[in-house]
Amino acid sequence: MDYKAAGAPKLGKNAPKHTEHNTHGSSKKPFGQRPDKAALLARMKAAAAAKKAK
């Protein structure tokens, strides 16, 4: 008999083990706030313009 296949399988948890360490802007994370999307889009547009200029 195959005993390793007995029992219900353990389901995966799609969450980090310690959420308090991973949240943006908390005292545990030294990187501070998450940057806003407007700054990201401005950086992407500047990079695309610089690449196009070359």
pTM, two decimal places: 0.41
Q: Which residues of 17-33 are buried (b: 16+ CB within 10 A; e: fewer)?
A: eeeeeeeeeeeeeeeee
On average, the pLDDT of the chain sits at 78
Q: Spell out the domain ranges in the chain.
A: 19-53
The pLDDT value recorded for residue 41 is 94
pLDDT in tens, 2-50: 677 777 777 777 776 776 666 776 676 666 667 789 989 999 999 999 9
What's residue 22's pLDDT? 64
Do residues 51 and 43 make contact, with C-beta atoms less than 8 angstroms apart? no
Is the Cβ–Cβ distance between 25 and 32 less than 8 Å? yes
